[in-house]
Amino acid sequence: MLEVRNIRKTYGREILAVNNLSFHVTEGEIYGLIGPNGAGKTTTLRIIAGLIKPDAGEVLIRGVSLHEVLKNDRRIIGYLPEEANTYPLLTGLEHLKIYGGLYGAGKEDLEFGAKITGLGKRLMEKTSEYSHGMKRRLLLGAVLMTRPRLAILDEPTSGLDVHASVSVRKTIREYVKSTGAAAIVSSHNMLEIEYLCDRVGLIFKGRIVEEGRPRELIEKYGVSNLEEVFTLLVEGVES
Ligand code: ATP
């Protein structure tokens, strides 16, 4: 579905945010991009969403360049930015309608999006009355409503409590498994990603330093969770 080949991105002269990074994601797969603050996750996701251009490398969707794909069908990719916010004076439902209007969503798409939000009657309220978790769920519904074949979700559970995080993770899993779409999810919460993702790429200083299925990586390094895998790898890179 998605192939990222040797992408590189520098901000100004000094900051090498993404350094020759490659990975792929297949249909029906949830791929986790995990790493500490400043590792290059958001930059990578913004490149894949077509929002910024890499200095080098390429992004292919089903073998075709991202640029070409987006020119023909913007609906193929859905992107939830890390710091997305809502318009306080608009209701949840109005958000879905506006977002849907941009992507040519029909009535059935709107209903699908509304169901994903799990907000029920509260969709009729202005989002100024929503909690952070409710806003995040609304935005997730707006992004998945048009059933993108590739959902790019930057820190979808950031700032959410345990209950809300579990519910968002469940929604993402159900979406991918029921539509056969692919998803990339970024997080610095490695334990969460361990539960959610089929495969993960551990990103550090703009590079993927290890990749694989969470269980396999944990076994390979003889540790008890992904956090420990990451710690071992980072120590190795820095020493
Ligand atoms: P976080 O987990 O904190 O969100 P991240 O892994 O998503 O971090 P990025 O946001 O991709 O990391 O940042 C990677 C590097 O690029 C950092 O050093 C950051 O300061 C830098 N950077 C990101 N965006 C810009 C920008 N617009 N201008 C200059 N530098 C930037």
For residue range 174-214, list pLDDT tens digits in order. 999 999 999 999 988 888 888 899 999 999 999 999 999 99
- The verdict on the CB of residue 43 being under 6 Å from ligand 1 is yes
- The verdict on the CB of residue 38 being under 6 Å from ligand 1 is yes
pLDDT at residue 174, rounded to an integer: 93
* Ligand 1 atom nearest residue 40's Cα: 11
- The verdict on the CB of residue 42 being under 6 Å from ligand 1 is yes
Q: What is the pLDDT of residues 115-148, one digit of tens each?
A: 999 999 999 999 999 998 899 999 999 999 999 9
How much of the chain, in percent, has pLDDT values that exceed 90? Answer: 71
CA atoms 125, 143, 168, 84: torsion sign: negative
CATH no., domain 2-83+151-238:
3.40.50.300
Q: Report how far ligand 1's centroid is from the alpha carbon of 85 (Å).
A: 19
Q: What is the pLDDT of residues 13-40, one digit of tens each?
A: 889 999 999 999 999 999 999 988 889 9
Contacts of the segment 112-118: beta carbons below 8 A, 24+ positions apart: 112/144, 112/145, 112/147, 113/141, 113/142, 113/144, 113/145, 113/146, 114/141, 115/141, 116/140, 116/141, 116/144, 116/145, 116/171, 116/175, 117/92, 117/141, 118/167, 118/171
Average pLDDT, the chain: 91
